[in-house]
Amino acid sequence: MRNVLNEIKMMKQALKDASIAFAKADKSRYIKEGMLAATVVFVAGLYLVSDGGAAEAKQKSKPPSRDPLLTLRNQSQATMPSRPVAPTPIVTSSPGVVSPAPARQQLAYNQSSSSVNQPYAGSTATSIVPDAIANAPTPSIPSANTRVISTEPYVPPTSQNLIEAGINYHHVTNDLGNWFGQFLNVQYQTDAWNRWSLSLLNQQAFTDEGQSIAIGNTHIINEDWYTTAGIAFGTDASFLTKYRVDVALNKKWLEGKNLITTAGLTYSKAQETYDDKGLLLSAVYYTPSPWIIQGGVRFNISDPGSVFSPSVFSALTYGYNKRYFVTGKLGMAREAYQLIGPGAIVNSFNSYNGGLDYRQWLGKDWGFNVGTEYYTNPAYDRLGGTLSVFMEF
């Protein structure tokens, strides 16, 4: 009798320990596993009850299925292009300016339309420095049918290096001087955790001419977090920033790591007495289809006068890696100051812009990019574009 009581006590204690462990554990995991086990048992029971063994033997003696829908589905699974894993629109902090797009397992390309290739046009307009997210890595999206759970330390996937060269040209109204520039962008992966970018620009704009250099870095912390940073310097041309610094922290969300949010800080100093301090908040979502959606807002303070000059931007991309990408972009801003030439300044106005970019691979590792952009404010309109060739290695 005493032994029976001891056994009962031990069973009660075991049940109590199990209930405590279950309360602390992830219940959704147990529910999923329980549903899976129940499904397996149910299917096995149906198989046995319906004499599945005999049915299977008869099925094996039949010729292969000629179901055209099944055949078509299998062929499509074998030949269908993968989801976009490269050039996705990474919008810079400047309103409506979209930096090129990288592979989901790679780092963003600096396309000809990125901020490093545009003159500085004002406190919230385009600038020469690579925005902190311009070289941000994009998430690695696993197959929908595959979920690998590994206990090994995380090592980020490396990506191809990139070199891109091109020109830009914009017509500017009111005789303020057209834009014409040449640029060179290079991205190089030094190790699995760091990728560097170098951008050189020679630009004519607003009847002036100058050069700039920009250096950027992306550092991967772990599977979910990474940082981006950039610094740039310009010559004494009135439309270029004297220097600018960008830093940002990026986070990947969701089970597929296909949502990226960014919070960044910027400080820029113009050639005159003006400077800007900004906070950037943005997000990129990689849909299950070949669409990529991006949007963000920038809160900017311009001095002198501590003028609030916010801006918003959005971009939509469609395409496939190693084939083509089409990106549309829109932006608007409340600008505090804009330098439109030596000693020529406009201030406190709204601006709007939009554009379309097309990136085409002509071979496995090379191709071209062409983009158009329209910008307008009360002082002038600007219409133009960029053309570049790129090579991955």
Pick from 2-6, 141-145, 229-233, 342-346: least confident:
141-145
One-letter amino acid identity for 173? T
Structure confidence at residue 123 (pLDDT)? 47
Least confident of 102-116, 154-168, 172-186: 102-116
286 and 342 fall within a common domain: yes
Helix and strand totals (H; E) in the chain = 4, 17
The verdict on 265 and 372 lying in the same domain is yes
pLDDT in tens, 7-45: 556 655 655 665 555 455 554 454 445 444 444 444 444
228, 358: one domain:
yes
210 has pLDDT over 80: yes
Residue 347 covered by a domain: yes
Q: What is the CATH number of the domain that holds 366?
A: 2.40.160.40
For residues 215-226, average pLDDT: 96
- For residues 17 and 118, state if they share a domain: no
- Residue 223 pLDDT > 80: yes
Residue 67 placed within a domain: no
pLDDT at 316 over 50: yes
What pLDDT shows up at residue 10? 63
pLDDT surpassing 80 at residue 53: no
In a domain, 376, yes or no: yes
Given a cut of 80, whether residue 121 has pLDDT beyond it is no
> Which is more confident, 284 or 156?
284
Same domain, 51 and 107: no
Statement to judge: residues 327 and 369 lie in one domain: yes
pLDDT of residue 78: 32
Q: Is pLDDT of 282 > 80? A: yes
Outline where the chain has alpha helix (H). 2-24, 27-49, 52-60, 68-79
66 versus 339: the higher-pLDDT residue is: 339
Q: How confident is the model at residue 62 (pLDDT cuts 50, 70, 90)?
A: very low
Q: Are residues 99 and 26 in the same domain?
A: no
Residue 322: pLDDT over 80:
yes
309 band by pLDDT with thresholds 50, 70 and 90: very high
pLDDT > 70: percent of the chain = 60
68 belongs to a structural domain: no
Q: Are residues 30 and 119 in the same domain?
A: no
Domain range enclosing 375: 90-392
SS3 breakdown of the chain: % helix, strand, coil, rounded to 5? 20, 45, 35
- The set of long-range contacts for 294-302, using a CB threshold of 8 Å and a minimum separation of 24, is 294/88, 294/89, 294/90, 294/91, 295/91, 296/91, 296/93, 296/262, 298/93, 298/95, 298/124, 300/123, 300/124, 300/276, 300/336, 301/276, 301/277, 302/123, 302/124, 302/274, 302/275, 302/276, 302/336, 302/337
Average of per-residue pLDDT across 226-233: 97
Within-domain flag for 70: no
Q: Which of 71-85, 119-133, 354-368 has the lowest mean pLDDT?
A: 71-85
Cβ count within 10 A of residue 237: 23
- Give, in order, the Cα–Cα distances in Å from 214 to each of 89, 102, 196: 20, 19, 11
In angstroms, the CA 153 to CA 193 distance is 13
Return the higher-pLDDT residue of 110 and 181: 181
Domain shared by 138 and 281, yes or no: yes
336-356 pLDDT, tens digit each: 877 776 666 677 889 999 999
Is the predicted pLDDT of residue 57 greater than 50, yes or no?
A: no
State the Cα angle at 133 between 326 and 292, rounded to 5°.
30
Please give the average per-residue pLDDT across 181-203, as a whole number.
96
Average pLDDT value for residue range 136-140: 39
Phi and psi at residue 77, in whole multiples of 5°? -70, -30
Structural domain ending residue among the three candidates 19, 44, 62: 62
Residue 336 lies in a domain: yes
Q: Give residue-wise pLDDT tens across range 248-270.
A: 999 999 999 999 999 999 999 98
Q: Looking at residue 254, what is its pLDDT?
A: 95
| Omega of the bond leading into 304 within 30 degrees of 0 (cis) | yes
Are 279 and 180 part of one and the same domain?
A: yes
Count the Cβ atoms, other than its own, within 10 Å of residue 66.
7
Residue 116: pLDDT over 60? no
At residue 46, the pLDDT reads 41
- Domain boundary (45, 62, 79) is at 62
Asked if the structure places residue 81 within a domain, the reply is no
Distance CA 210, CA 218 (A): 27
Any residues with CB less than 8 A from the CB of 262 and at least 6 apart, and which? Answer: 132, 133, 136, 228, 248, 249, 250, 251, 280, 281, 282, 283, 284, 296
State the DSSP H helix or E strand holding residue 191, giving kind and residue range, or none if neither: strand 179-191
Same structural domain, 53 and 103: no
Count of domains for the chain: 2
Tell me what the pLDDT averaged over the chain comes to.
73
- Residue 138's pLDDT is 42
Residue-level pLDDT at 63: 36
Does 139 share its domain with 19?
Answer: no
Let me know if residue 124 belongs to a domain: yes
Beta bridge partners of 312: 297, 332
